[in-house]
Amino acid sequence: MGSRTRLALSALLATFQRDLVVTGREFVPFLMQALMQPLFFLFIFGKVLPGIGLAAPNFAALMLPGIVALTGMIAAMQGVTLPLVLDLGFAREIDDRLLAPMPVWFVALEKVLFGALRGAVASSVIFPLGWVILGSGFAVRTDRMFTLVAMVLLTGLVGSTVGLLIGTIIKPDQISLMFTLIFTPLLFTGCTYYPWGALGRIRWFQVMTLLNPLTYAAEGLRYAMVPPTGGRDFPTLPLFWILLALPASVIIVFLLGKRTFGKRVVN
Amino acid sequence: MSGFANQPENAVVVTNLVKRYAKAKAIAVDDVSFAVRRGEIFGLLGPNGAGKTTTIGVLTTAIVPTSGTASIGGVNVAEDPIGVKRRIAVVPQQSNLDRSLKVREILTFHAAYHGVGRRERGEMADRLLEQLGLGERKNEKVSAYSGGMVQRLMIARALMHEPEVLFLDEPTNNLDPQSRLFLWERIGELRARGLTILMTTHDMEEADHLCDRIAVMDHGKILVNDSPEALKRTLPGSSALELQTFTASADHAGMNERIAAMLRSLPGTARVDTTADADSEEPGHYTHRLFGDNVHLLIGSAAQAIAECGAEVRNVSVKKPSLEEVFLSLTGRHLR
C-alpha cells in the first residue's frame, strides 16, 4: 500500500474516531433522540391498540420489524443530514477535515459509515425495548440471525446515504420544509406500520411504496424477524428483490450524494 | 513568468491563473501570476471582491481554476490536491473550529487527520498551547473562548502538522491591540523559523509591519507587487514636511503668506499648504506642509526661511506616504 493510500486511510480513520468521541460523550441524548418515537409507537400500536381490540394480536410482531427499520433509518439520517446542512451552510467545521490529506469524498464516505453505525445501534436497542414494552407480544424468530444483522446494517447505510444526499441539497433556511416535504412521505410510504403484501387491495399505493428504500428495509427485517405461523413463513417481498434493491439504492444514492457533496465543497 | 516553477526558492507559484464562476458576469481572477519565495511573508491586498479569496481558494484546493496553474512547493494544486494539503495550513477569517471537541482535542485530532503519531501530537499540542498562551484553558470548549483566543487557537491548529505554507486570512481582524501585537510577534517568529506565509489583510499598518512583499489586487488582476517600501516610493511627491510655527506679530496672516512664498521657492518643493490653526487659543499659530520627494533634506532651509521672516518654529515632522495612500491611489476611493 502506497504512503498516499495509508495517509488517506489514516485520515479517514481519524475522522471516524472523532465522531466516535463526540457521539460517545452525547450517548444518552443520542439514545433519547433516537428512541423516544419508537417507544411510543411500540406502546400504542403494540400494546394499546391490540389491548382494546382495535388491532390483531399478532400486529405487534408484524410492526416490530417496521419500527426497527424506521428507527435505524431515521437515526442514520439524523446523524448525517442536520450536521451537514449546518456545516456546509455556515459552521464550516468540516473545513478542517476537507483539508486533511485524503480525497474530499472520503469525508462524505466517513459521514455515511458513521451514520450507518448510529442507525445500527439505534435499531439494536429496539429489541430490548420491544421485549420490555410488548411483554408476551414480543416475538422474533432466531433462525435468521445472519440475515437480521445484514438487514440492520443495510438499513443504516440506506438511511445515511439518503441523509448525505439530502444534507448536501438542502440549505439551512429550508430545514423545516425538509421535515415536511421529505421526511414525512418517506416515513409513511415505507411499509413500516403495515406489511407490503397486505397492500394488494390498494394496488397503486403498493406500487408506490416500492420507490421508497425504507420499504425494502422493513420487509427485509420482517423476513428475518416475524416467526412462522402454522409452519408457514410470513409472506414478505421476495428476499431476492430486497437484497438487490437495498445495496443498489445504497450505491446509487451514495454516488449521487458524493457528487452533490463535491459540488458544495470544491467550487 | 513560467520560469517561476523551476526555481526551488519559490514556495508558491501562480501562473496565468483564471477563475470564472459559472453564474458570474465578471471574471473573479483574471490572468494572475505571482510567486512567493520560501520563508517570505507575502501580503495579498485589495478591496472586497478583488479576487483575493478566490486566489487563495485555488491555492488551498477549495476552488478549481478555469485555466492557468498554481503550485505549492512544486506540487500542482489541480493535479495533486492531496500532496498540496500535506504542505499547507489555512487560518480562515471566521472560526471554523470544531465546537464539539475540547480545545486540546481540536489540535490532536487535526494532527491525527494529517497522520501525526499519537505521542507526537500530544506533545506538540501542549507545546503550541503553551506558546500561544492557551495552556491554562486547554480542556475547555471553544464556546468559552474570546475572539483573540479563537484566533490563536486556529493558528496553533494550523501548525500541528508542520506545514510549509501558511495561509492567513485577515489574521487580526476584530482583535484588541494586545492580541494583535501578540499575533504579530508570533507571525514574525514563524517567518524566522522559515515558514512561508501568504496573508490577506485590510489593515495597512499590519501589511506594512509584517509583509516582505505585497501584491495589490483589484478586479481580478494584480496591480502592483513589490516590497512595502518600494510601493511607497512609487507615490511621487507624497512625503510631507510639516512645520508648526508661531508669531506674536499682529500681521500674522501677512507674515505667513511671506513664509509660504519662501517655502514654495525652495528647490525640491512640489507644493505648499498653509493653514492657520483654528483650534489654538491665541492667534498666530500656523501649520505649513511642504510636499516633495525628499522633503527631509529641506528641514534646515525651511526653518531658516521661517526664522528670517520673524516667526519661530514650534514643531517639525516628516510624514512618509502610507501604504494606505498607495492602496487608495491604486484602487480608488469609491465604495464596493
Distance CA B284, CA B276 (A): 7
Closest CA to A25 of B114, B141, B111, B150: B141
Per-residue pLDDT, A1: 65
A266 contact B CB<8A: yes
B122 contact A CB<8A: no
DSSP line for B118-171 = HHHHHHHHHHHHHHTT-GGGTTSBGGG--HHHHHHHHHHHHHTT--SEEEEEST
Distance CA B181, CA B188 (A): 11
Per-residue pLDDT, B275: 85
Residue to test with chain B: of A17, A99, A107, most B Cβ within 10 A? A99
**Chain A from 16 to 45: CB within 8 A of any B CB:** 17-18, 21-22
pLDDT digits (tens, 9 = 90+) for B29-51: 999 999 999 999 999 998 888 89
Across the interface, whether the CB atoms of A17 and B112 are under 8 A apart is answered yes
Distance CA B97, CA B141 (A): 10
How many contacts does A have with B, using Cβ atoms within 8 A? 77
The mean per-residue pLDDT over the stretch B247-260 comes to 86
Distance CA B102, CA A109 (A): 24
By DSSP bridging, strand B88-91 and strand B165-169 are parallel
Cα torsion angle, B67, B72, B75, B81, sign? negative
Q: Which DSSP symbol is given to B80?
A: -
B63 CA: distance to closest CA in chain A (Å):
5
Across the interface, whether the CB atoms of A266 and B64 are under 8 A apart is answered yes
Does residue B235 carry a pLDDT above 80? no
pLDDT along chain A (267 residues), means of 10: 87 96 92 90 88 85 92 93 90 92 96 97 94 88 93 97 94 86 87 90 93 95 91 90 96 97 91
pLDDT digits (tens, 9 = 90+) for B240-251: 888 899 888 888
Amino acid present at B274: T
Residues of A in contact with B84 (CB under 8 A): none
Q: Which DSSP symbol is given to A183?
A: I
Tell me the C-alpha to C-alpha distance, in Å, between residue A213 and each of A49, A82, A161, A222, B237. 28, 20, 11, 14, 75
Question: Nine-digit cell at A261?
Answer: 457533496
Per-residue pLDDT, B310: 86
Across the interface, whether the CB atoms of A11 and B115 are under 8 A apart is answered yes
Helix, strand, coil share (%) of chain A residues, nearest 5 = 80, 0, 20
A143 contact B CB<8A: no
Distance CA A33, CA A78 (A): 9
Cβ neighbors of A126 (< 8 A, separation 6 or more) are: A35, A38, A42, A64, A67, A68, A71
* Cβ-contact A126, A117 below 8 angstroms: no
Per-residue pLDDT, B7: 60
For B271, the 3-state DSSP assignment is: strand
Helix, strand, coil share (%) of chain B residues, nearest 5 = 40, 25, 35
Across the interface, whether the CB atoms of B98 and A18 are under 8 A apart is answered yes
ipTM for the complex shown = 0.89
Across the interface, whether the CB atoms of A96 and B114 are under 8 A apart is answered no
Distance CA B122, CA B111 (A): 9
* Cβ-contact A214, A69 below 8 angstroms: yes
Across the interface, whether the CB atoms of B96 and A91 are under 8 A apart is answered yes
A96 contact B CB<8A: yes
Tell me the C-alpha to C-alpha distance, in Å, between residue B18 and each of A208, B43, B64, B223, B290. 48, 20, 10, 15, 44
Torsion of CA A25, A30, A32, A37, to 10 degrees: 180
Per-residue pLDDT, B2: 46
Q: In this complex, which of B89, B113, B157 lies closest to A97 when CB atoms are compared?
A: B113
Closest CA to A141 of A197, A217, A195, A221: A221
Per-residue pLDDT, A136: 83
How much of chain B, in percent, has pLDDT values that exceed 70? 96
Amino acid present at B308: E
All domains of chain B in start order, with CATH:
2-233 (3.40.50.300), 239-320 (3.30.70.100)
Distance CA B145, CA A69 (A): 42
**Angle formed by the axes of helices A59-86 and A213-225, to 10°?**
140
